[in-house]
A = this chain, B = another copy of it.
Amino acid sequence: MRRSKEDSEQTRAAILDAAERMFCEKGYAAATVELISRAAGLTRGAFYWHFRDKADVLAALHARTFLPQEKILTGVIASDTPDPLDCLFLAAAEALRSFEVNEGEQRIFRIMSDLTIGQDGREAVARIHAEMRALIRTVMQRAEANGTLNPRITVAEAELYITVTIGGLLAEWLRSDKCFPLALSGERLLRHLMTMLRTDQGAAPRARQCDSPRPPGPDPNSVLDIRCARAPKTKQALPQR
């Protein structure tokens, strides 16, 4: 039995971990509070001490995973690079690498595509997704203003293509039970995509200077380490009694 303050935080984290696993395995609706608690080596008493109900853990899970990533991604876009498309490519490749090794991210991705997570949960997911699309769109707008974007491709189109490709990669990788190297294959596909977004492929084969002009400045990868992005506890549902 754990009774000290820090042990309590440990218990809370254990419940979050267990909930993440159970939500991912059984789905949100089918993951019982009893199941989660037992998976954490506890009883429902502990669960209801730390969380108000199942929706509360989901929100906590969401915050624990996405809040740090959001900050990092918005940091990526802040960098004012001369080659926005290449910057986006590097960020996406790094995101794939991170996803490939981080089982927590994988579980959250699965959980958040669950239909049973309820209205507020869905809204939270939609918000995150809209932010990511807005970020990509901003990059594309810069590329357009920059002249690096293929003039025959709309900003909206380019934004869509990137979104579709990355989302499709993650989903297919998980569904296929990780039967291909996500980062490697994804990087190749994305590189092709980026090339297409740059050059005019339709009729006029203009001067190609596609993915060579990377500035020899500080490696953008150094900023992009999303590995092990775990925030300390945030919210606490005060027990009533």
Contact = CB atoms under 8 A, between A and B. Distances in A.
Interface string A58-96: 000000000000000000000000000000000000000
Nearest to A186: B164
A228 B154 CA distance: 8
Nearest to A150: B192
A156 to B, nearest CB: 6
Contacts of A110: 115
Contact of A160 (B167, B185, B196, B221): B185
A113 interface: yes
A209 B166 CA distance: 29
Given A113-B113, A114-B27, A116-B114, A167 B171 contact: yes
Contacts of A30: 29, 115-116
A126 B169 CA distance: 17
A175 B172 CA distance: 16
A52 interface: no
Given A129-B175, A168-B169, A172-B164, A157 B229 contact: yes
Interface stretch (A1-9, A10-18, A97-105, A200-208): A200-208
B116 A26 contact: yes
A189 interface: yes
A27 B23 CA distance: 14
A157 B221 CA distance: 14
A238 to B, nearest CB: 17
A149 B102 CA distance: 34
Interface of A: 23-30, 110-111, 113-116, 126, 129, 154, 156-157, 160-161, 163-169, 171-172, 175, 180, 185, 188-189, 192, 195-196, 201-202, 205, 208, 221, 226-229
Given A113-B113, A156-B229, A166-B168, 20 more contacts: A25-B115, A26-B115, A27-B27, A27-B28, A27-B114, A27-B115, A28-B116, A30-B115, A110-B115, A129-B175, A154-B229, A156-B227, A157-B188, A157-B229, A164-B189, A165-B165, A167-B171, A167-B172, A195-B196, A195-B201
